[in-house]
Structure formats: structure tokens, C-alpha cells
Structure 1
């Protein structure tokens, strides 16, 4: 059973595979174009002088510092052209905290690079004075039109700046959409980026991971006020458990091959004498699948097309549910609208992602971690040796829901942190 969802773009001419709008992340041992996005290791901040409040580092179950699972360079030039973004997933490795709410937490960092200039209607009211001055207005109007349709600093910086990683790829897919504006090879050594109001600041946005996703949605018009957070400092590295090994991320769009029709070997014969009494192989197959979680079958089959993936990214898209029966599955799955491609956002109904606690806006799906990330992070790591630490991860998927308005500080250059919704679907216990 392998449904092809509404996000699929269709099979190629040969009918062998289909491509979707989901961007897949893969672990890489060596540095790729993006030096910010990575699994494991230590987090780096938009401004090293302004780390998050220390309370964000702590597990909500045991109040001890957690380990970084993922840091993602999350700029979205089409949605938030004036914002710099990073996303983080933290998890508590201690056995008593396993499977408990609050043992996995998500964090979003935002910094505004430039304030959007409000429209200036005064220029349209000026051609009223005397008729002698009517010869002057055409010049500024032409300049305004030129700035709006290609020569303004904002338009040129976001849409017209060249990207070294996607040269001549306007009609093709990027080789690596996890692209960051500047390298940061050392641990926590990335230099702080000063706030800039020149076009060079916004030029870095076009080189981001999410810009390569080629998403487009109306950018937010306003930002909610900054919310006050806890004042405890971020813990020192000595207070954390040993981090997971760091892996950088490479990416490509999801492709799925058409399932092949099984062939029957020449030396095998089929006895149909029992088929009439048993209802046929079709009924046996249906009976077998009815005993399993159909969501899990779809989940594992979909991942099987690209088994090395660790991350699935689709801003405002649809998460791939591990189960419909757990708390997260019941919240996100709508049995009245079971279409696998249905978009998941916050709506009036209670069975959706919770609204942003800071500004009240709806939250939308951005990405999810999938089980192969566990295999990558725990490879060569001693787990299960102690009663408290390194118990081993047992989740099936971690789904991130983020504020649709990317709420944060309004001031240029000020870094703000928001805790976002992390929906964890835990691995089914073996019986």
C-alpha cells in the first residue's frame, strides 16, 4: 500500500518515479554548502552575545540541560523577507524522562534585518498645487515605479541576488538547499552578525535553506511585541551531557519510485482450491492490514523510498504521521478529511497545532525528524549503560509547528527566542 499524495507532481514520462514538494535532509560527515544546519553537536546562535534564556535549555521533566538534536538554518525570504531565523530541537537523554511531555522541546530564534517601509500616499496627493508644477510629478513617479519593479534595494536583495549554489537553476531543483550565507567551521565560533539596514544584509536571505524550497506565501504585515522571558543564563557546556556527534545536512527533493508488480517464479504454481472458502488473497491482505496501524504502514512505506532521510521539510505543508492513535495523531488527523495531503494548521477546531502562546497567531507545520536520525545520532554512542543517562531515543517522529507570523522583536538587530510546538509521536513498544 503506497498512496501517492496531493503533493506529488506526477510520474515522469517513463512512469518510473514521481517528485514531491517535500525537501529531504540527509546526514553528511563533511561540511556541505550550509555550515549552520546540523544534527547533534552544540548549538550556535544568531548572536553569540545573546544566547537564549537558560530555562529553554532544561527538560521540563527533570529540569536538567538537554542535548541538541537539530539546528536548522530557517530563513524564509518569500514569507519573512526581513527576518533571519534558526530552529532548534532539544531532547533529554535521561531514561526517567523518556516518553514524557516536555522531554523534547523546540526553539525558534528570530532577528529582524530591516524594517519594512510603509507606503507613502503623500506622493500621490502632491499633484494638486498649481498647473505649472504638473510637469514635475512624472519624474518621481517613474522613479517609484522603477524601484517597485526591479531596482529597489529590497526587491534586488531578495529576488534578484545571485545564489552561488543554484546557478542557472531557475527551472531545475537546487543541488543543496541547506545553504547558509557564511561559513562557521568552529564550534560556537560563528561570528555575530551585526544588524544592517543596507541591501547587503538582505542579500544573505536568498542563500538560505528555505529559499531553495521555493515556497511562497503572503509575508506578515506586523510583528507582535516582545515577550519577557526567564532571566537565567544559558548553561555552560560543562553542565550538559556529552553531545551527540555532529553531522551536517545535505538536501534534495523527495522522489518516489512506482511500486513494481511482483512476479511469480516459473517453478511456482498457485493452488486456488482454498481461495473460495477463505475469501481470496485480497481479503487476507485486507484482514492483515486491518490489524496494523494504517498510518504507520503509510509512514514506513513513504520513508522506504528514501531510507537515508533524517528530516522532512515543507513549510505550511503536511506532516507524515507515525500513528493516528496517539495524542499527536488524534490532534492532527481529521477522520472527516482523511486526505493524506491535507494541510495542517491551527484552526478553530481543537484537533490542530496549538496557537502561538506569544502572539496568538496560528501555527503551521515546518518540518519533522524521522527515525533514521536516531540511527545517525546514536551510532557508536554508549546507551543504556546507566539508570539515568543515555537511555536511547524511542520516538517515531518529532513534528515542529511554528508561529505563522514569525513573531519576535520589532527592533532591527535584536535577537528574540520563542518556544515552539514539538509534537512527539513515540515509537510503538514491542509486544
Structure 2
């Protein structure tokens, strides 16, 4: 992936280039970041903020997955007041490998509390929405003697109101049964009797419970105890530094294509046949990582991933066919990495952007204690997140809400020769 001038800086001697990509390194020694880690058991922002277990179950076997990465994603300059954490989990079962839904990611965001109430406009009186109180002199009799006389002089004496507290009763209006009837008023109507609660309980209420469909089970499952979780990978702290590259790689760092084609011969057909078996995207991926071989992750919010392959579904999200008449080559989108190409955030419908990716050195660190060769088989795991860092729907301000984010996995087999 070519560097842009705006994304790099040279030191005074010009011996290396620094990019905007932050590299993460596994460390057994504690670092300044006390939250971020590779492997181990997941920890949450506080004791009551664990996500639903359903968000961390394998979509193939429905078993709990194992933590690959948890990262402190706070960005006070971009999201002031947001407490932000991201996690990536993977299923360890062999039968589930290389299948969609076996690697998942979640984001926990605690949005800042806002001041209660709706702010009033500058020209709005703080009391204008409150009910107006009658003058004290008008209600003094009522207050002292609990009188029902009204202070309203405009009361209609011929109103049909049956309010017993009406100040001037209409002699021609029907009256309640327990009042003294006027000789000119019709017989008082019989007041309706209150419903029989027992009858309701055995008819409407009970029948509703019987006939209504069963309520759906709450999708939020409590986080299980550690004893019910799969054995974790070894736990590492994370150290970080900006990526530095040698702008003029030494001769000894020729690409595999350059080295292997030296003995092929001068015939063009033989060279073309050989080059067709080389995945150039993978070669760029390998060459870039080789300059900082200990890196386990690459981080650049809103940047572009380093693709392991351009031929799989994930790779095609970040590549496009250049239609200019001067060139028809497949090119990698750098900083127009296609937020509209990654599926939008299902929680708020905003675009998603690239945030980070895990690279193969993470496998070497996590499986250092594993026996045999049948381990994780991915080339890179790419994480795309909501560009607005939205909070979970229904989550209260000040509480941690959880949203599942997009994960693009490029499996090892997608970079086999001949697939470019």
C-alpha cells in the first residue's frame, strides 16, 4: 500500500518514513495502557457493564468464543466524553474454522450524561408553562371553610353539568340519586355500577393470558462465570508505536517475484506464466509487515487496511476498477477506503470506517503454547466500526451500551497462488 506524502514524515537524515498507522506489539511486561490486551479473559469497563453473552457466541456452534483482543478505544478529541472499548472474539473449535460468524467483534460505548430537562429559549419565561394561580382573596373562603363556591362570575346557571361542586346548580338538570331532587327535574339516572374485578379476571384478563402468544425470550443473556468459558489464549499487554518504514529497502529485500524470476529465463511467456501464480497483493502485505515483523495489530481510525488478498469478498470491498482511459488496473483505495462499501451500522445507519486489523504475528503469540500445526488460519482480521460511535438503542446515558461491529476475515486459503 503506497504511502501518501500527507501520511508520512521523514527524519532529518531521511533514513526512514513514519506513517499514521499505529502498530501494536505484544508484551509480557506491563505498559502504560492497563486495559488493552491480546488474549486472556475479557474485562469490562465496570462490574455491571458486561455485554449479553449472545453477542459473543459462535454463529456456527453457538458456544462461547475466546478473546483475541480488547482495546481501549477512547478518542477524546473525536468523541468527547465517550468511554469506548472494542473487543474481537474467535471460536476455537476446529469444525468452525474458516466459516462466517466464527469471529465476531463488539464495541462498548458509555455516552456522557446530559443535563436533565429541555433548555428554555432565551425569550421564554421560566414560569409561562406553569398553571396560573387564582388570587389569594378569591380562594380564601374555600381555603378556610372548604367551601365549594366558585369565584367564577361567568358560570352558566343553565349548564347541564352534574358536578355536585358546581357553584350554581341548574334546577332543570338531572341530579345525582343521593341529592334532593328538584320538583321540575326528571328522575335521576341510575349511575353505572363498578365492574366486577373477579369477572374481568376470569374473562378478558385470563383469556388474554391464555390466548396471547408467548412472549419472546429476552435476548440479553448474562455473562457466564469464567468456569463456563473456554480456555483462554495467553494474555499479553500491548505496547504501541507509529509505523516506520525504510523508504529505500535494501537490495536484499527484493520481492519474492523478483528473486524467483531471476532463473526462469528470458522468454516472456515463461515469465508471464510464473507471474500469474504470484499474488501481488499478498506480496505487498508480506513486504510491509517484514519491516516491523513483531507487530500484532495495525491501528488507524478512518484509514485503510493492509489487504492480505484482493480477490476474496473482503478484499473486493476495498478495491475498485479504475475506469480512466489511461489505466485499467485494479487499485487499492487508500483514504477513500469506502465507508459505503462496508455494511452500515445497523444501530444508527451511519457509515462504518476502518479502525484496526490483526496480523499473523498475533497468531504466533496467541498459539505459542499450542501443540501441532492446526491453529488459526486467517491472514488478517479487519474491524470496521460506526463512524459516529453511536450508543446502543435503549441504553441510558452514563451506562455502557453494546453494539456488534463488522469484522472482515481474510482466510489463509484466499491468498493461494493463482487467485490474484
TM-score by length of 2: 0.66
d(CA) in 1 for partners of 2:67, 2:353: 22
Are the equivalent residues in 2 in contact too, given 1:27–1:39 (CA < 8 A)? yes
Q: Number of matched residues? A: 306
Once the two structures are TM-superposed, the CA of residue 334 in structure 1 deviates from its matched residue by 1.7
What is the match of residue 10 of structure 2? 11
Are the equivalent residues in 2 in contact too, given 1:8–1:18 (CA < 8 A)? no
Evaluate the alpha carbon distance shift between residue 46 and residue 12 of structure 1 in structure 2; reply closer, same or farther with a 3 A threshold.
same
Evaluate the alpha carbon distance shift between residue 246 and residue 278 of structure 1 in structure 2; reply closer, same or farther with a 3 A threshold.
same
Match of 2:298 among 297, 305, 312: 312
What is the match of residue 78 of structure 2? 79
Are the equivalent residues in 2 in contact too, given 1:57–1:234 (CA < 8 A)? no
Matches within 5 A, 1:291-370: 291-336=277-322, 338-339=331-332, 341-347=334-340, 352-370=341-359
d(CA) in 2 for partners of 1:260, 1:90: 36
What is the match of residue 185 of structure 1? none
CA deviation profile, 1:69-127 (whole Å, cap 9, x unmatched): 0000000112210210000000001111000000000000011234389997956999x
Structure 2 spans left out of the alignment, 5+ residues: 126-216, 253-262, 323-329
Match of 2:375 among 389, 392, 401: 392
Evaluate the alpha carbon distance shift between residue 6 and residue 63 of structure 1 in structure 2; reply closer, same or farther with a 3 A threshold.
farther
CA deviation profile, 1:329-377 (whole Å, cap 9, x unmatched): 1122223272452332422xxxx11001111111111000000000000
Evaluate the alpha carbon distance shift between residue 339 and residue 7 of structure 1 in structure 2; reply closer, same or farther with a 3 A threshold.
farther
TM-score by length of 1: 0.65
Give SS of 1:428's match: helix
What is the match of residue 27 of structure 2? 28
d(CA) in 1 for partners of 2:83, 2:278: 43
Matches within 5 A, 1:95-174: 95-115=94-114
What is the match of residue 254 of structure 1? 243
Evaluate the alpha carbon distance shift between residue 13 and residue 116 of structure 1 in structure 2; reply closer, same or farther with a 3 A threshold.
farther
d(CA) in 2 for partners of 1:339, 1:412: 40
Are the equivalent residues in 2 in contact too, given 1:7–1:341 (CA < 8 A)? no
Give SS of 2:289's match: helix
Give SS of 2:251's match: coil
What is the match of residue 47 of structure 1? 46
Evaluate the alpha carbon distance shift between residue 380 and residue 414 of structure 1 in structure 2; reply closer, same or farther with a 3 A threshold.
same
d(CA) in 2 for partners of 1:236, 1:90: 17
Give SS of 1:392's match: coil
Evaluate the alpha carbon distance shift between residue 32 and residue 248 of structure 1 in structure 2; reply closer, same or farther with a 3 A threshold.
same
CA RMSD of superposed structures (Å):
3.1
Are the equivalent residues in 2 in contact too, given 1:66–1:90 (CA < 8 A)? yes
d(CA) in 1 for partners of 2:264, 2:42: 59
Match of 2:370 among 381, 386, 390: 381
CA deviation profile, 1:296-344 (whole Å, cap 9, x unmatched): 1111111111010001000011011100011111122223272452332
What is the match of residue 220 of structure 2? 231
d(CA) in 2 for partners of 1:116, 1:285: 69
